[in-house]
């Protein structure tokens, strides 16, 4: 597991498997402009409230989150947020079983429609890699958040933006005072766009256009999987993804993959995308 500071109020934690990113954000007492001008003074001096967005994957990584928060002088999490309902983004409850889990209304509906799906997929993953966990995943009651909308953290606010296309559910999270975009499973430099659970090229393209102004305004973009990027690199990935999706809709299997992402595993994903059209 690798942890880096993106801002005095924002940590990014990357799992050793699947390159899954978890973002820890702290919001304190004060206004948004103080958070920008004070370079983290809001969270650092006032204590503030902490949220954990998405999750690493391995048991020892999850166990390390609480000590990491303490070392960084972040408060224990007041809540968890999941960008969408794929199992590898829902494991925060294993690290913080008493914390409330918030997600988009669309994600809450997805999880309620398919109870136990995330747990079954996690068990299958663990069996393949012979991973043993101290307890099963229990999502508990979910806090369904209206999206688009805002979520208070301390006296600051996170912005929640609809992000369907990869799946039928989901949200991206904008941390305005830190200029960090938590994009969910979008804008990855290591993965091509993936159409899952019946979603469409049109929905994916709409999400990319919805994210474009946030990407342009960002200092850091955190994809669900892969390296954290800056605004210019993320905008380039966005354009590559738009080009790929348009070619996929027009040419199907004959569409070219984005440069640097034409690997065996991504070609298999491309075949699934073409079959889903």
CA distances (Å), origin 266, targets 5, 72, 88, 259, 271: 30, 36, 19, 11, 9
In this predicted model, which residue has the larger pLDDT, 34 or 263?
263
Domain residue limits at 247:
2-276
Q: What is the pLDDT of residues 96-114, one digit of tens each?
A: 999 999 999 999 999 999 9
Provide the b/e sequence for 161-171 (b: ≥16 CB within 10 Å).
Answer: bbbbbbbbbbb
Mean pLDDT for 10-26 is 97
Is the pLDDT at 229 greater than 70, yes or no?
Answer: yes
pLDDT tens figures, 117-158: 999 999 999 999 999 999 999 998 899 999 999 999 998 999
> Given this model, what pLDDT does residue 47 score?
60
154 by DSSP, 3-state: which?
Answer: coil
Report pLDDT digits (tens) over 19-66. Answer: 999 999 999 744 443 343 333 333 344 468 999 999 999 999 999 999
Strand-pair partners of 181:
174, 221
> Domain holding 180: CATH number?
3.60.15.10
Percent composition of the chain: helix, strand, coil (DSSP 3-state, to 5)? 40, 25, 35
- The candidate with the shortest Cα–Cα distance to 207, out of 106, 94, 71, is 106
Q: Kindly report whether the peptide bond that precedes residue 148 is cis, defined as omega within 30 degrees of 0.
A: yes
Look at residues 135, 138, 161, 137 and name the one whose alpha carbon lies nearest to residue 149. 161
Q: Say what the pTM is.
A: 0.92
Q: Look at the alpha carbons of 237, 240, 246, 250 in this order and tell me if their dihedral is positive or negative.
A: negative
Average pLDDT over residues 251-272: 95
pLDDT at residue 18 is higher than 60: yes
| pLDDT level of residue 70 (50, 70, 90 thresholds) | very high
Average pLDDT for 217-225: 98
E strand residue ranges, 119-215 = 142-145, 149-153, 156-162, 171-175, 180-184
Would you state the structure tokens that stand for residue 43, as one six-digit string?
Answer: 């969270």
Number of domains in the chain: 1
Nearest alpha carbon to residue 170 among 216, 211, 115 = 211
- Going by pLDDT thresholds of 50, 70 and 90, the confidence category of residue 197 is low
């Amino acid at each position: 597991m690798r942890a880096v500071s993106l801002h005095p109020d924002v940590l990014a934690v990357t799992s050793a498997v699947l390159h899954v990113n978890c973002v820890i954000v702290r919001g304190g007492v004060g206004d948004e402009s103080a958070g920008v001008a004070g370079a983290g003074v809001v969270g650092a001096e006032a204590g503030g409230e902490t949220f954990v967005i998405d999750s690493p994957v391995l048991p020892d990584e999850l166990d390390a989150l609480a000590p990491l928060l303490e070392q960084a002088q972040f408060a224990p999490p007041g809540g968890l947020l999941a960008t969408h309902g794929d199992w590898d983004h829902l494991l925060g409850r294993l690290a913080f079983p008493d914390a409330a889990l918030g997600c988009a209304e669309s994600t809450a509906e997805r999880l309620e429609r398919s109870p136990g799906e995330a747990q079954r997929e996690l068990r299958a993953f663990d069996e393949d890699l012979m991973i043993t966990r101290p307890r099963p995943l229990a999502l508990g009651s979910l806090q369904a958040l209206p999206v688009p909308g805002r979520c208070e953290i301390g006296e600051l606010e996170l912005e929640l933006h609809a992000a369907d296309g990869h799946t039928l559910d989901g949200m991206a999270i904008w941390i305005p005072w830190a200029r960090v975009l938590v994009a969910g499973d979008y804008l990855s430099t290591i993965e091509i766009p993936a159409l899952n659970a019946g979603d469409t090229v049109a929905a994916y393209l709409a999400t990319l256009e919805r994210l474009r102004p946030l990407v342009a305004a960002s200092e850091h973009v955190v994809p669900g999987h892969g390296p954290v990027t800056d605004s210019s690199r993320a905008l380039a990935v966005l354009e590559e993804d738009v080009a790929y999706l348009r070619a996929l809709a027009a040419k199907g299997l004959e569409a070219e993959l984005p440069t640097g992402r034409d690997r065996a595993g991504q070609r298999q994903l491309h075949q699934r995308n073409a079959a889903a059209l």
